[in-house]
Amino acid sequence: MKLQKPQTLILPPAGDYGEGRMMPHIVESIREDHVRVLHLLDILEQTGEGREERYATVKHELQGHMHGEEATLYRRMERVMQDEIEQSVRDHTGFREIFGRLDRMPPDRDAWLVHLRELQRRVWEHIEHEETVLEEALSVMDTPELYEMGDYFQQAKRAMIQMASGRHP
Ligand SMILES: [Fe+2]
Ligand SMILES: [Fe+2]
């Protein structure tokens, strides 16, 4: 069965967030990340060359994204939708476990690709599910909070990416 990618992601053109705004708020940032991560996973799955480097990029992106969400969106929304957030955290834990398996295996092995496809499928499903959290976030947060949370999200994400990739600011 061919997997269907989430249909729910609708994005404005890059750098245009309406009303002349150049900065995204938290929901816009997260949706942009989702599109980017799905794209990076697609390329990684389809391209044999440079797989190790591509894998490191996807992993760091996703690690940063998950940490950013847990430190901001999830913390804020667990008061509002506890079950959904608990499920989302379990999904993140599952991704980290798959990264652990991928890390221990040479990327040119067939088994590596099997795990990668499993990750890809679960990330698609997670992103679809997360849309309900994002929609709810848009209704419970006012505009200043969406932007403030957007800043925190970017900071937390950057800090994690720097740590995960061994880069320092
Ligand atoms: Fe997530
Ligand atoms: Fe996400």
Q: What is the pLDDT of residues 56-82, one digit of tens each?
A: 999 999 999 999 999 999 999 999 999
DSSP H or E stretch at residue 151: helix 143-165
Ligand 2 ion: residues within 5 Å (CB): 130
23-42: average pLDDT: 95
For residue 48, pLDDT beyond 90: no
DSSP summary character for residue 142: -
Q: How confident is the prediction for the chain on average, in pLDDT? A: 90
CA 126 / ligand 1 centre spacing (Å): 7
Given pLDDT bands bounded at 50, 70 and 90, which one contains residue 12?
Answer: low
C-alpha of residue 114 to centroid of ligand 2, in Å? 22
Higher-pLDDT residue of 67 and 165 is: 67
Which of 158 and 165 is assigned the larger pLDDT?
Answer: 158
Q: Are 147 and 23 in contact (CB under 8 A)?
A: yes
Mean pLDDT of 123-144: 96
Q: Are 168 and 59 in contact (CB under 8 A)?
A: no
The arithmetic mean of pLDDT across residues 93-119, rounded, is: 96
CA of 107 relative to ligand 1 center, distance in Å:
25
Please say if the pLDDT value at position 139 is more than 60: yes
Residue 166 Cα to ligand 1 middle (Å) = 23
**74: number of Cβ within 10 Å:** 20
**Cα 126 to middle of ligand 2, angstroms:** 7
Give first-to-last CA distance, the chain, whole Å: 44
The amino acid present at 155, given as its one-letter code, is Q
Provide the residues around ligand 1 (an ion) whose CB is within 5 A. Answer: 69
pTM for the predicted model, two decimal places: 0.89
Calculate how far, in angstroms, residue 75's C-alpha sits from the geometric centre of ligand 2.
Answer: 14
Mean pLDDT of 31-48: 94
Q: How far is the CA of 69 from the centre of ligand 2 (A)?
A: 7
